[in-house]
Amino acid sequence: MAPRSALPYTGSMNTQTKGVVYDAIVAGGGFVGGTLALALAKLAPEGVRIALVDAARQEVSANGPKDARGLALTAATKALLDAVGLWPALSPNAEPVRSIEITDSPLNASLRPHFLGFDDEMEAGDPGAYLVEAGELHRVARAAVAAEKAIDVFAPDSVDDFETDAFCVRAHLASGATLQGRLLVAADGRRSKLRERAGIKSIGWSYPQVGIVATVAHERPHHGKAVQHFLPAGPFAILPLTGNRSSIVWTEETERGQELMAGSEEAFVGELTRRFGHRLGAITLEAPPQSFPLAFQMARSFVADRLALVGDAAHAVHPLAGQGLNIGMRDVAALVETIVETQRLGLDIGAGTTLERYQRWRRFDSAFSATVMDGLNRLFSNDSAPLRAIRDLGLGLVDRAPGLKRFLVREAAGATGDVPRLLKGEGL
Ligand SMILES: Cc1cc2nc3c(=O)[nH]c(=O)nc-3n(C[C@H](O)[C@H](O)[C@H](O)COP(=O)(O)OP(=O)(O)OC[C@H]3O[C@@H](n4cnc5c(N)ncnc54)[C@H](O)[C@@H]3O)c2cc1C
C-alpha cells in the first residue's frame, strides 16, 4: 500500500505503517476530516502520526468528481483554514460577502420588499463570510494532505468496524487492513457507519425539501451582495462568487425539485430566472445543477470509548444559513485544542476525560445552532399570511436595531460564545 504518496493504493500495510500506533485515526477525508488531520499534523507536538481513511479516491486534479456547491465560510472558519495553511491557496478564489439582503414574498409577487439588510454593519470591519467553491476546497485540502508527512492516507478504503481496549482502538478497513491508534475520529458524514457501530443513537428527520445548487454567470457585477429570498417552498439564496458569477442554493419541495432536475435545461433556467430576477442581467448556467436531500440530525452523544464524532457525523443542519460546515469546523478547532493540551500534559488523548471535555464544549452549541436553522425553515417555508405578517414585523424591527444587527453579524461570523482559539486566529 502507498499511504500518502502518488503510488496507487492497494489496501495492504507497507513496512512504514505496519505496527504503527497512530495518535489519531480519522475516518472520513471530507472537508471536516481533512482539515482535522491537517490541523493535528501541523499543530500537535512533533512526532504526531495520523491515519486518514476515506471511501473516495482523493482526486487533486480539476477532473475529479464535481461538487457544484458554493460554500459560505465564516471569518472564524477562515481563521482555522489560515492556521492549517490552506487559506493562502484558497483566497484568490474566495469572494468576500459585503452585504446581505433578506426578502420574504410569494413567487408571483410583483414586488419583493426588502425587510432586512446588513450593509453598514458589515462594511465596518473585515468580511464576516467568504464564498468558496466546494471543488476548490476539495482540491486545495487534498493537495495539502498529500504533501503532509505526518499523515498516512488510506484511500479509497473505509473503516468498517472498530474495537477498543484500555490503551488503544483498532480500526478494521474494508481492504482487510487493521490500523491501531489512541483515538478514532468519525468524520464519515451524515450516514456515519462509525456512529452506528458505536451504538450512538441520533434524533433526526428528513425535510420534505431538496437543496438544488448551481453556479450561474450574469451580465452585471454583484458587488459582494448575498441575497436570501424566503419563498413558500423554501429559501432561495444568491451568493456572490468571484467574477460576475453567483452560487445558487435553491430549497424546493422534493417532488417539484425532482421534476426540475429531470426537465430540460431551458425549463430549469426559466424557473431559475423567475426566482433570480433581472437585477444582474441575463444568467447562464456554468455547469449542470445538482440536488441534495435535506435532513436534520443530531447525535445523542458526540463521544464513545476512544471515539469522537465531528462534522456531519455529529450533526447535520438545514443549509438555509450556510452553517453546516462552519459548525463542523468549530468541532475541529475544539477537538484539536483539547488534544494538543492533553498531549502537552503527557496524558491519553483517547481517555474518557479528554473526550468529555470535547463533548461539553461542542454538543450544546451544535444543538442550539441546528435548532435555530430548523426553526427558521419552519417559520419561513410556508404560505401562511398571518405567519408572514408576524415574521415580516420581526424582520422590520431587527432592521431598525443597529446594535442587534451588529451582534447578528458577529454571531454569523462565528465570533460569539466560547470560541476555540484557532477560530479567533490565536495559536495553540
Ligand atoms: C445544498 C447544500 C449547501 C450547503 N452549503 C453550505 C454552506 O454554504 N456553508 C456551510 O458551512 N455548509 C454548507 N453545507 C453543509 C456542508 O456541506 C456539510 O456540513 C459538510 O460537507 C460536512 O462535511 P463532513 O466532512 O462532515 O462530511 P462529508 O462531506 O459528508 O464527508 C464525509 C467523508 O467521509 C467519507 N466516508 C464515509 N464513510 C466512510 C467510512 N466508513 N470510512 C472512511 N471514510 C468514509 C466520505 O467518502 C466523505 O469523504 C451545505 C450542504 C448542502 C446539502
Rounded to 5 degrees, what are φ and ψ at 252? -135, 155
DSSP one-letter string for 204-241 = EEEEEEEEEEEEEEESS--TTEEEEEEETTEEEEEEEE
Q: Which stretches in the chain have pLDDT values below 50?
A: 1-2, 5-6
**Spacing, Cα 177 to ligand 1 middle (Å):** 25
**Spacing, Cα 94 to ligand 1 middle (Å):** 19
Q: Which regions of 111-201 does DSSP assign to beta strands (E)? A: 114-118, 129-133, 151-154, 159-164, 169-173, 178-186
Give the position, in ligand 1's atom list, of the atom nearest the Cα of 187.
Answer: 26
> For 233, which DSSP code?
T
Q: Which amino acid is at 287?
A: A
Helix (H, G, I), strand (E, B) or coil at 316: strand
Query: HSE on the CB side for 37, CA within 13 Å?
Result: 35
Query: HSE on the CB side for 113, CA within 13 Å?
Result: 8
**Spacing, Cα 243 to ligand 1 middle (Å):** 26
What does the pLDDT look like over 175-234, one tens digit per residue? 999 999 999 999 999 999 999 999 999 999 999 999 999 999 999 999 999 998 888 888
Q: Check pocket membership of 412 for ligand 1, CB cut-off 6 A.
A: no
Question: Quick one: pLDDT at residue 375?
Answer: 82
Q: Check pocket membership of 33 for ligand 1, CB cut-off 6 A.
A: yes
Question: Quick one: pLDDT at residue 2?
Answer: 45
Q: Check pocket membership of 325 for ligand 1, CB cut-off 6 A.
A: yes
> For 216, which DSSP code?
E
Give the position, in ligand 1's atom list, of the atom nearest the Cα of 312.
Answer: 26
DSSP one-letter string for 37-88 = HHHHHHHSPTT--EEEE-SS----STTS-----EEEEEHHHHHHHHHTT-HH
Residue nearest to atom 27 of ligand 1 (CA): 189
Question: Quick one: pLDDT at residue 401?
Answer: 67
213 and 292 Cβ atoms separated by less than 8 Å:
yes
What does the pLDDT look like over 233-286, one tens digit per residue? 888 999 999 999 999 999 999 999 999 999 999 999 999 999 999 999 999 999
| Residue 150 C-alpha from the chain's centroid | 24
Give the position, in ligand 1's atom list, of the atom nearest the Cα of 326.
Answer: 11
Pull the grid cell for residue 316. 447535520
**Spacing, Cα 392 to ligand 1 middle (Å):** 33
Whether the model clears a pTM of 0.85, i.e. scores above it, the answer is yes
What count of other Cβ atoms lies within 10 Å of the Cβ of residue 396?
A: 12
Q: Which of 66, 61, 65, 53 is nearest to 9 (CA)?
A: 53
**Spacing, Cα 188 to ligand 1 middle (Å):** 8
Question: Quick one: pLDDT at residue 247?
Answer: 97
Residue nearest to atom 21 of ligand 1 (CA): 325
Rounded to 5 degrees, what are φ and ψ at 223? 55, 30
Question: Quick one: pLDDT at residue 122?
Answer: 64
Q: Which amino acid is at 425?
A: G
Give the position, in ligand 1's atom list, of the atom nearest the Cα of 313.
Answer: 26
